[in-house]
Each structure stands twice: as structure tokens, then as C-alpha cells.
């Protein structure tokens, strides 16, 4: 979220949030070795039932990586927002 100050807080915050989803997708795709189509396919996938068994849409390793990345992205946006004290 390293952005140059434009003097317009509204623009800076909007830009940071706009980049958030893209950064998250890029980080997950790199960590899990997903292409862009695979990222969206996995994101929309649902667990499948086969008899008494459930086949998960994503692996445990993918789930762990996604949570780890999500926490990092939230920490990054939180640090960015801390630059703007509430008046």
C-alpha cells in the first residue's frame, strides 16, 4: 500500500481498497501456484458430497495459505489506514 500522497485522502483510501483485491489474488495465486482462471474457479468451487464423504473444494494447505495471506493483507491495510488519524 505504498502510495504517494496526493493530498486527497478520499482518493488515497479508495485507491488502497481498489488494489486490495488484486494484491490478495496475486499473493494467493503465487503461493498456491494458481493461474488467474484457477484462482476464480477454486474461489467459486463448493465441497462435493460422495456418499458419506466430503471432497473439499480446496486442500488444507491451500486453506492455510489463503488464511495466512488474508491476515497479512488485513494487517497491511490496517497499517495504511493508521496513517489517517480520525479528526
pLDDT in tens, 18-39: 999 999 999 999 999 999 999 9
Q: Where are the alpha helices (DSSP H) in the chain?
A: 9-32, 36-44, 60-81
User: What's residue 5's pLDDT?
Assistant: 66
| Mean pLDDT across 66-78 | 97
- Asked if residue 50 has pLDDT above 60, the reply is yes
Percent with pLDDT over 70 in the chain: 92
Percent with pLDDT over 90 in the chain: 84
Residue 86 lies in a domain: no
Domains held by the chain: number: 1
Name the burial class of residue 28, with classes exposed (0-12), middle (13-18) and buried (19+) by CB atoms within 10 angstroms of its CB. Answer: buried
**Structural domain that includes position 35:** 9-81
Residue 3 lies in a domain: no
User: What's residue 49's pLDDT?
Assistant: 92
Question: Which three cell numbers mark 55?
Answer: 471432497
Angle at 73 between CA 71 and CA 75, to 5 degrees: 70
Amino acid at each position: 500500500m505504498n502510495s504517494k500522497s496526493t493530498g486527497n485522502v478520499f482518493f488515497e483510501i479508495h485507491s488502497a481498497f481498489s488494489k486490495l483485491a488484486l494484491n490478495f489474488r496475486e499473493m494467493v495465486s503465487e503461493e498456491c501456484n494458481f493461474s488467474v482462471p484457477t484462482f476464480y474457479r477454486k474461489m467459486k468451487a463448493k465441497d462435493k458430497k460422495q456418499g458419506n464423504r466430503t471432497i473439499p473444494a480446496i486442500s488444507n494447505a491451500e486453506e492455510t495459505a489463503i488464511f495466512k495471506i488474508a491476515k497479512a493483507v488485513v494487517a497491511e491495510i490496517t497499517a495504511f489506514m493508521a496513517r489517517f488519524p480520525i479528526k
